[in-house]
Amino acid sequence: MSYSGFGGKLFDVLNYVLLAVIAVLTLYPFWDSLIISMTPLNENLSTNVHLFPRSITLEAYRYLLNLDQLWSSYMVSIFVTVAGTIISMTATTLAAYALSKKELPGGRVVMFAIVFTMMFGGGIIPNFLVVKQLGMLNTVWAMMIPTAIQTYNLILMRSFFVSIPESLEESAKIDGCNDFGLLFRIVVPLSMPAIATVSLFYAVSKWNEFFTAVMYITDKDLWPLQLFLRSMLLENEAAFQSGGDSPFLLGQSIKMATIMVSAIPVMMIYPFFQRYFVQGITLGAVKE
């Protein structure tokens, strides 16, 4: 099926051009930062559109990789991402499965109580006080536990589980499999698109965790990458005066290098998950 007329063809061409332009504009800011992160400090950036680097140096990366704070922040972020995603996925999957069973007495009430938290909340201050009361301030747990379940993800998983035909579980049930066995042996293997999608959502949000860290972490040793990055971005340019004639540009290239180092893990992993998105979200979001 295609449009043969001149108008139809013209629309197609314009549409492709427009979409391509949008894609390029979306990516350009990343490209620009990448170039600047590799630009030598004596290069003048203020006159041109930087499409390609005229000369390349890895000086900024060398400087950056020698900072202890970068490594400690990297370790914190990796730990929070891995451990946090495991905690979140466990809690979310278990609850979503239990709530996908219509015959569970009280299930509807629990579901309502959970959805209600999307509409109403206590606010920043009471949440801060809870974390403080639990003694979690300045611990890595503050970056994982208070945000362990995102209700939207829970709903997504539950809807996916609801869509799995009951009959698939019947035979295993007759063989004496209990609910844990059903979940892990039958339901989870059938739910890979949803599990991949939700895992990615959790992992990315842990990696990007910024505000919880601002509120709950003051100890520099526990700074995640995002806090380190922010301090680098706000750092007084004077700190980077290391003999070059244009301290701003060295500062700028280090800032952009920090951005690249923080963004690259996400940019590398996420395209592999993309093929699951639409399938993972279709069942979850459309019907609920």
Site for another protein in 141-200 (CB under 8 A): 145-146, 148-149, 154, 178-180, 183
Distance in angstroms (rounded) separating the CA atoms of residues 190 and 185? 9
Chain position carrying tokens 């979306």: 26
- Interface residues for another protein in 55-94 (CB under 8 A)? 90-92, 94
With respect to another protein, which residue has the nearer C-beta, 62 or 275?
A: 275
Shortest Cβ 147–another protein spacing (Å): 8
Shortest Cβ 281–another protein spacing (Å): 5
Distance in angstroms (rounded) separating the CA atoms of residues 159 and 285? 8
- Of 52-60, 68-76, 111-119, 184-192, the window that binds another protein (rule: CB under 8 A) is 111-119
Sign of the four-CA dihedral 163, 167, 172, 176? positive
Helix-strand-coil split of the chain, %, nearest 5: 75, 0, 25
Shortest Cβ 79–another protein spacing (Å): 17
With respect to another protein, which residue has the nearer C-beta, 59 or 149?
A: 149
Shortest Cβ 119–another protein spacing (Å): 6
Shortest Cβ 175–another protein spacing (Å): 16
Shortest Cβ 253–another protein spacing (Å): 10
Report how far apart the first and last C-alpha atoms of the chain are (Å, whole number). Answer: 33
Looking at residue 235, what DSSP letter applies? Answer: S
- Quick one: which of 90, 228, 206 has its CA closest to 146? 206
- Of 58-66, 67-75, 187-195, 274-282, the window that binds another protein (rule: CB under 8 A) is 274-282
- Interface residues for another protein in 215-254 (CB under 8 A)? 215, 226, 229-230, 233, 248-249, 252
How many chain residues are in contact with another protein, going by CB under 8 A?
Answer: 97
Distance in angstroms (rounded) separating the CA atoms of residues 105 and 101? 9
Residue 30 in contact with another protein, rule: CB under 8 A: yes
Q: 4, 68, 125, 268: which one contacts another protein (CB under 8 A)?
A: 125
Shortest Cβ 123–another protein spacing (Å): 3
Q: 138, 171, 242, 274: which one contacts another protein (CB under 8 A)?
A: 274
Q: 13, 27, 65, 75: which one contacts another protein (CB under 8 A)?
A: 27
With respect to another protein, which residue has the nearer C-beta, 59 or 261?
A: 261
Distance in angstroms (rounded) separating the CA atoms of residues 280 and 275? 9
Looking at residue 251, what DSSP letter applies? Answer: H
HEC secondary structure over 161-213: HHCCCCHHHHHHHHCCCCHHHHHHHHHHHHCHHHHHHHHHHHHHHHHCCCHHH
Sign of the four-CA dihedral 124, 130, 133, 135? negative
